[in-house]
Amino acid sequence: MASGVITELGGPLSHAALVAREYGVPAVVNVAGATVALRTGERVRLDGGRGTVERLEPAAPWLTG
């Protein structure tokens, strides 16, 4: 279950953005380096309207590989 969507590629009409909108979850698309910068278990706040992603806290050490 996802509370939001962050992708490295795409735009406002991309499949990820359309599906997120359909399910009512925020999405920020076209975020360069997202898969390198973010790790499993990290908490982030994203604002789909402004297109911002904010890291809330470091990932728990047992969740980062």
pLDDT for 63 equals: 59
Burial of 15 (0-12, 13-18, 19+ CB in 10 A): exposed
pLDDT for 64 equals: 56
SS3 category, 6:
strand
Active-site residues: which are they? 15
> What CATH number corresponds to the domain at position 35?
3.50.30.10
**Global pTM value:** 0.77
pLDDT, tens digit, 9 for 90 and up, residues 13-54: 999 999 999 999 999 999 999 999 998 878 899 999 999 999
Place of tokens 């890291």: 55
User: In angstroms, how far is CA 24 from the centroid of its own chain?
Assistant: 14
Phi, psi of 5 (to 5 degrees): -130, 130
In a domain, 62, yes or no: no
Average pLDDT of the segment spanning 1-13: 89
Q: State which residues form the domain around 15.
A: 5-57
Domain count, the chain: 1
Contacts for 24 with CB less than 8 Å, ≥ 6 apart: none
